[in-house]
Structure formats: structure tokens, C-alpha cells
Amino acid sequence: MKNKTKITLERFSTNQYRMILEGIGVGFLTGLLVSVFRLGLEKAESLRDSVLDAAKTGGQMLILAFAALLCAYLVVCYCGRKVPLAGGSGIPQVKGEMKGQIEQNWWQIILAKFAGGIGAIGAGLSLGREGPSIQLGAMVGKGFSRLTNKLRTEEKMLMTCGAGAGLAGAFSAPLAGVVFSLEELHKNFSTDILLSTMAASVTSDFVSSYIFGLSPVFGLHIAGRLPLSRYWMVILLGLVLGVFGVFYNWMTSFVQDLYDKLPRKFMRVAVPFLCVAVLAACYPYVLGSGHGIVAEVARGDFAIKALLILLAVKFLFSIVSFGSGVPGGIFLPLLVLGAITGGLFAAAVGDLAGYGDLYLANFVILGMAGYFTAIVRAPITGVLLITEMTGDFKNFLSLSIVALVSYLAADILKGQPIYDQLLHRMLSKDADYGTTEETRSHKVLLESDVYIGCPMDGEKIEEMLLPPGCLVVSVQRDKREIVPSGSTILQGGDKLILLCSQSFVKVVEEKLNNICKSIRQ
């Protein structure tokens, strides 16, 4: 009987076309699941609006509204108690599992995330569908792997495919799904992963487009390109968004610290639901993800004072909702906050520049891209996501500039990317996340590029000083594969394939980042 190491190497060397086909399968299943999730959210939000309208008459309808809110609260509490890893956006959990730090039960996550997400978002909490969709997709990939008896290395690839397909299905943004999976989750742009994830994302987008149509998520009317003479405003907006993004992440951590002081989980969940009850009575406009707000801001439907109030209330409600740990993401709420910020910026500088509201919609999409980048720290994803969600390809240059500036501003201020921050917080708690000695001993394959000018460029493999049992099993150079030895000299542009135990993945990845993915000073 072949040992696991030999099987892993043999299957890796012949899996490119098979992985593309499996990516299509995972993408199809994820597209179906995420589409049903979107339909469930639409029905829940429609029901919520109907109940709130009827509750204005008072009497029995008001009692019905409270009963519906209580039912949603109980569903969310039950899901959180039974499957704790189904809480939050789900992206930190996927990142943790990709690093071997967390082990999720795929079918439990799917059931709990689906029900809990519809309960929380449908009830009116300021949360988005993208995080749950990404986690659902990743768990579809994991379930596909377990049911077909794949190796752990293949499982991570299928989870990457599912995560990208989840984002693609949630927002009709296949390219953003591909890039987010590689930029934020897999941390590797290898051809094999790129092709299989693209196959999954495109398939998922096809399924969701068949159900929801081909119209972009945000149907904005954008007059044209911002003149180059006004690009100083883009830079200024990027700086503002970078500061606001760091503040958002800091406030998220601060509110989570406050929630941690509550002795019971059900108390944490009760806080945002009580906020829903209050806001439903006095300011129902901020309930839910706020998807419709973006188009209204872009049309100029708000005065500056109204925008300021909307920004303040939506910001606080979003932080309170997400900080509680209930199932739901932050993409849509933060995009709404970015759109409002962009609208305020346009209103402030529009009169000074003498163009009024002519480029209001431009600054709305710039606000979304910059705010997303400052918070998530994934600039390529931010630019592609807004481009695909709006269907506007005319403003690619200005979107790229605002993303770059907001990224640099947040980085200079030492702000931590939101999902790294959330994962670190999760792992710092004394909790069992499902990893066992058996899972930690599994052999997995890692990939790493050798950057031109990195410390290992021109050095021998033996000088990498890898942990015991970790081997470089393949060097790919100029479309050729080299069987390496300790004396093999690496060159910039090489791609390394390494075999190691799951327990060493984090250590090896950190070492590779230092010696292969950084430029020698």
C-alpha cells in the first residue's frame, strides 16, 4: 500500500485538469446554495418590511412584529449555541482552516450559517450576505472533498474554489471572487489555483445570473470619467477613507471588547435585536444591509445634514450588529458607508470645484472602493468588486488610485486588516476549534513563488533551513519541472512545491514570506 506522502505527490502532479472539472462542480453547487440563500434573504426582508408597515397601525400587528423579531432572535441564538463557528462573517474561520488552525464541520456550518444568516439579516441587523456566502461556498468545497475522499491539499484547493464561487454568486462578481480567494485566503496566485477557482466562480455566477438576471447589483447612472484635472480630489478622498477605515476596524475591536464583558452569549445577541426594535420605530431606513441606499445617494436624494445623520446611525448600528458575533458579513454595510462618505465628500467639494452634482455617482463608487480597501486591505479585489457590481468600466483608473491611496494611508496608520484582526482575536481565546493530533499530522503541499531579489534568489535550497520533515519536492522554472536537491540553486521567478505536516504550515508559511516573498534590503 502506498504511503500518504507518495499518493499526495502523485495526485498533485496529475490534477490540473481534474481540479478544473471539480472546480466547475463546486461552483455549480455553491451557485445553487448561495442563490437559494439570496432568495431566502429577499423573502425575509420583504416580509420584514410588510410586517413593519402593518405594525404602524398598532394593536395585533405590533404584537406580530415583536413575535417575528423574537423568533428570529431565538433562531440566531440556537445556531450560535450549537455551531459557534457559524457566527460572524465566516471569512476568518475559512482563513483559519486554510492555515490549519481551525477545523469546521462542513454540514453543520452550512445548516447553521444558512438559518442564522437569514434570521439575523432578515430581521434587520446591519449585515451583509457576502461573508456567509463565502463560508457556505468554502464548506461546499470541503464537503465535496470529504464525500469524494480527497487529500488535504486538494481539499484546500476546493475550499478556495468554493469561497470564490460564494462571493461570485453573492454579488455577480466572478473576477472579484477569484482575486479575493487568491489575494485574501489562499495567498498564492499559482496557475492551478487560478484556473480552478476561475472555473468555480464563473460557473457560480452563471447559476446566480440565470436566477437573478444579468443586471449589476448596483444599477447606478455614472455620467462619465472624472477629469484628470480633478484627480487631486481622488487622492484626498483616498486619504480620508484610509483614516476612516482604520477607525472602523478599531471601533469593531472596541465594541467586541465591550461585548466580551457580557456573561452570556444570548445577551450579546440580544443587543443588536433590541436596536432593531428601537430603530424600526424611529429610523427604519438603516435596517438591513442598506443595499438601496447606494443608488439613492448616487442620485443626490439626500441633503448634507441627512447624509451626516445617516452615516452616523448606520456606522454605529453596523458596528453593534457585527460586533455581536451573529451570522452575517460586513461587505455590503461597509460599501454603503463608503458610498455615503463618497457622497458627502462630493457634496463638500462639488460647489468649491464648480461642478455641483455632476460627478456625484463617481465619488460614490470611489468611496465604496476606497473604504473597502482600507478595511479589508485587498485593493485588487476592491477595484474589481466595485467595477463588477456597478457594471462600470470607465473609471478603472480613478478606482485604482483611490484604492492605492487608502491602502497606503491605512498601512501608515498601522491599521490591521479586518479579517486578520478577527482571526487573531478568535484564536487568542481559550477555545477548541476542532483541530486534533490526527488532522495536524496530515501531509499537505504548499506553493511559494521565489521573488526576484528575495533572500533566497541565487541561494541553495539547503540554506532555507526548513523545519524537520518539510521538503522542497519540486521547482518549476520556465514551464519546466526540476527535481531538487539541497544543492539546487534557486532563481527569482521559480515556483516551489513543498511537502510538510499540517502542524508546520503556519511556521513554514511565515518563513517563506520572509525568505522567498520579500525583497532583500
Lowest mean pLDDT among 51-60, 154-163, 227-236, 451-460: 51-60
202 contacts: CB under 8 Å, gap ≥ 6: 27, 168, 174
The residues near 217 (Cβ < 8 Å, ≥ 6 apart) are: 171, 172, 173, 291, 389, 390
Residue of 36, 15, 41, 260 lying closest to 161 (CA atoms) = 15
Taking alpha carbons only, the member of 364, 203, 224 closest to residue 297 is 364
pLDDT tens-digit profile of 445-502? Answer: 888 899 999 999 999 999 998 888 799 998 999 888 898 999 999 999 999 989 888 8
77-81, 335-339, 357-361: least confidently modelled range? 357-361
Exposure letters 248-277 (e unless 16+ CB within 10 A, then b): bbebbeebbeebeeeeebeebbbbbbebbe
13-212 classified as CATH 1.10.3080.10: yes
One-letter identity of residue 304: I
Q: Identical fold at 13-212 and 437-517?
A: no
What pLDDT was estimated at residue 437?
Answer: 57
Distance CA 236, CA 258 (A): 33
How do residues 277-293 score in pLDDT, each as one tens digit?
Answer: 999 999 999 999 999 99
Cβ–Cβ < 8 Å for 303, 296: no
pTM for the model stands at 0.91
The pLDDT of residue 32: 98
The CATH number assigned to the domain with range 228-264+275-427 reads 1.10.3080.10
Return all residues near 155 (Cβ < 8 A) that are at least 6 apart.
141, 142, 145, 146
Domain range annotation of the chain: 13-212, 228-264+275-427, 437-517
Residue 6 reports pLDDT greater than 80: no
In angstroms, the CA 148 to CA 469 distance is 28
pLDDT at position 441: 66
CA angle, 63 then 65 then 66, to 5°: 65
Q: What is the pLDDT of residue 350?
A: 76
Average pLDDT of span 138-152: 94
Q: Which CATH superfamily is domain 437-517 in?
A: Regulator of K+ conductance, C-terminal domain (3.30.70.1450)
| Per-residue pLDDT tens digits for 216-249 | 999 888 878 888 988 999 999 999 999 999 999 9
